[in-house]
Amino acid sequence: MKIHKNTSSTEDCALRCILHHKCHYFSYCNGSCYMHRLLYEKEIKKDYDCNCSSYILLSANNKNWQRAFEMTKDSFKRSPIYLYWDKLPIVKVRFRLSRKQDKRIFIFNGTGTNSTSWFQKDKVITILWNGWDPQNLTFNENFSHPYFRIEGPSQTTIEAKREIGNNEKYDISVKSLLRNLSISFETLYITVLFN
C-alpha cells in the first residue's frame, strides 16, 4: 500500500494516516502526503524526491514493542524503522522465535545501535531460554537475503535465513549436531522498544 493524497500540511497528512487503518508510516513533501503500511516484503526506499519529512506512527504511545522485521516460512517483511534506526531512541531489541505455545527470546541492548550493529554477543542483556549462552552471532546485512545465526552451547545453532535459490522460502530453526535434532519455528519477530 502506498497511497498518495494532496494535503495542506504535515498535520493534515498525519491525521489522514491515523484515520487510515493500514497506515503506519507517512511522508509529507510540498503538499503531497504518501501513506505506507507497516511491513513490506521488498526493500523500502526513502522518499528523496524533495526535502521530505517522514514519520512512523508508534502504537500505544511508544511504550509497546514496535515490529521492525518479521520472518515466516514464506516471507521476510521489514518496517521503515530499519531505515531510521540510528536516529531513533531505541533502547532494546527483541529477537523472538515463535511456534504454537513455544517462544524463545533474546533481548539486546539497542542503545546507540543501527539496524545491524545490535546483533552482537556483547549486546545480549536477557535470554529467555534455559541453558543458552550464545557463543557467536552472525548477521548478513543484506536484507534481500537475511541471515541470522546464533551459535550456542553443545553445538546447537539457531538459524533464520532465506533458503538458497530464487524462491521466497525461509528457514527458521534450531539444530543440535550432538543430538541430531532440528526444531522448526513458524516466525521470527524482531521488535524494538523506544526510550
Rounded CA Rg of the chain: 18
**This prediction's pTM:** 0.85
Q: Do 136 and 105 have their domain in common?
A: yes
- 73 and 50 housed in the same domain: no
Q: Are residues 46 and 138 in the same domain?
A: no
Res. 131 pLDDT band, cuts 50 70 90 = confident
Same domain, 15 and 66: no
Within this chain, do residues 15 and 83 fall inside the same structural domain, yes or no? Answer: no
Q: What confidence tens digit (pLDDT) does each residue in 102-127 have? A: 899 999 999 999 999 999 999 999 99
Looking at the fold, whether 102 and 148 belong to one and the same domain comes out as yes
Buried b (16+ CB within 10 A) or exposed e, 136-165: ebebeeebeebebebebeeebbbbbbbeee
Q: What percent of the chain has pLDDT over 70?
A: 92
Residues 93 and 189 in one domain: yes
Dist CA 181 CA 161 (whole Å): 18
Residue-level pLDDT at 98? 96
Domain count along the chain: 2
Q: Are residues 32 and 79 in the same domain?
A: no
The residue range of the domain holding 75 is 60-194
65 with 191: CB under 8 angstroms? yes
Assess whether 71 and 52 both reside in one domain.
Answer: no
pLDDT confidence band for 190 (50 / 70 / 90): very high
pLDDT confidence bin for 48, thresholds 50/70/90: very low
Q: Which of 18, 36, 57 is the last residue of a domain?
A: 57
Does 158 or 130 have the greater pLDDT score?
158
Q: pLDDT value at position 51?
A: 65
Q: What is the DSSP letter of 40?
A: B
